[in-house]
Structure 1
C-alpha cells in the first residue's frame, strides 16, 4: 500500500512523501516545553501541549501520519517586496487540495480509511513531523532542509488510521556555518537549532498588536513588507537549488504589493482581491503599517 501511495503521489508531482509514527511525541514535548519556558512562542502555534504530543486526540484511532513536502522556489526576484512563499497562490489552499486528493485515493483503496488533513493549521509541529518522516534534516535556523529544494518547501500532513510503516529520520544536520545566525535581521536565530519567534521579522510583519521600538527597528532592516527570507537566502544549502515542478506555484505570480493600490481600496476590497494569497489573512492595515514604516525609512535615507 505504501508503494501504491508513493506512485499516486508522483502523479500529483509530489516528490517528497514519508511516513511519521503516530506518537506520542515525547521528544517533541521536551523541546516544546523548553520553548515555552524561554518565552520563545508567538501565539500562532497550537498552545495545547496534549494536542501537540498526542495525535490520538485529533484523530482517534490514528496509526500513522503521511507527510508531504511542496517546493515553491521560483527564483530570486530583486524587485520583490514580499517573501518568496507568497509569490503564488496561498500554499494552504494548494497543499490542502493535493492532500485531499491523496486521501480520496486511499479512501478508494482502503476499507474504513479515516483521515484528517492539515497544512500549517494543524495541532502538530509540521517540521518535527517532516523530520520524523525522513524527508529532510534540520538547519540551525529551524527550517527543514532537503537536498533538491533546500528549505524552500511547505509541509502538509494526513493523520490517518492505516498502519503505514514509518520512515527513519535522517541522521544529519546543516553545515552549521552560522551565516543565518549572523545575518538574521532580528537576531532571532539563536545558534542551537532554535529561534526566538518574537524577534523574527516574518512574525513582526504579521503581528496585529502595536509594534515595539525593537519591532520597528527590525522591520526597517530590509524592504520586505510581508515575511522575511534572509535566513534562507544566505543558507549554503539553498544555493543552486531546483525550482519547483509544481505548476500551482509557478502560475499567477505576484512579487510586489503596491502602496498606491493599498491606499486606494478598502479592507473588504483588499480581501476580495487577495483572498487566495497567503498575506491576506491579517487584512490590509497590517501591511499598510509595515509599508509606511519601511517607506519612511527609505525616504529618510534619500534625504
Structure 2
C-alpha cells in the first residue's frame, strides 16, 4: 500500500520535475559548458579552453568596475526603497486618529495608496524614456524646476556627469520599486493581530515604541525576503540602464555587469566569455543571498 502511495505521488511530480530540469536546470548547465569554450556565437566552431575565460575575467578591470556599480546599487537602493516603503506603509496602515492600535491610517490614506503604487505600474522601459527627458540638461523638467526656484547653480547634465549619473539612476529605481514594497509591507501589517497593539496601548507604549518593538519584529521575515528579492534585481539592473544609458554612462560610470555581458556577446561576438560573466554573476548572487537568509534565520513568531 505504501509503495503504491509513493508511486502515485511520483506520477504527479514527474512532469513538473521534468519541466523544471528542461527549462531551469538545463540552461544553467548549457551556460556553464559554453563558458568553457571560445564560441563566438555566430558559427558552429567552438574550442574547449577550460577555465581560460574565468582566468581572463579575474584580471578584467572593466568587469570589476561594473561589479562595483552593481554592489552600490545593491547597498543603496534596497535600503532606501525599503525604508521609504516601510514608513509609508506604517503611515497609511497603522497610524491614524484611533491611537496606536488603529487601522486605516492617516486621513486620505486610500488616495495615497493609489499614488504610491502608481510608479510600479509604469513599465521599466517607459520609465527609462521619461526620466531620460526629465534629466535632460537643456529641456529637462528637473533643471527647469531648479531654475524657476532660483537654484541655477545646481543645474547640471545629470546623466552626463560621472559623479551624478549613477545616483540619478538609483533615484529612478527607488521611485519605481517603492510602490510594490509599500503594498507588501501594508499587507503584512494588516495581517498582524489587533489585540497585541491594544495591549501595547494599555501598557502606555507610544507609536514609535509600538512600531519598533512590535511591528518590526513581527514583519522581519517580510523585510528579509524583500531585501533579498530587491537585491537580486539590483544585481541585474539591465533593462532600465540600457534604456537610459545604453553606452554605460560617461566614462563607463554606470555600466553594470549585465550590460558588460550584453556587449561581450552581441557587440564583441564573445559568447563564451559572456557566458563566463553570467556564471560569475549567478555565483555572486548565491554567495550574497544564501548567507543573508541564514543569518536572518530566527524562531518563527506565532500569532
State the TM-score bracket (shorter-chain normalisation): under 0.3
Q: Which structure's CA Rg is the greater one?
A: 2
Structure richer in strand, relative to its length: 1
Structure richer in helix, relative to its length: 2
Q: TM-score, normalised by structure 1?
A: 0.24
Larger RCO (alpha carbons 8 Å, 6+ apart)? 2
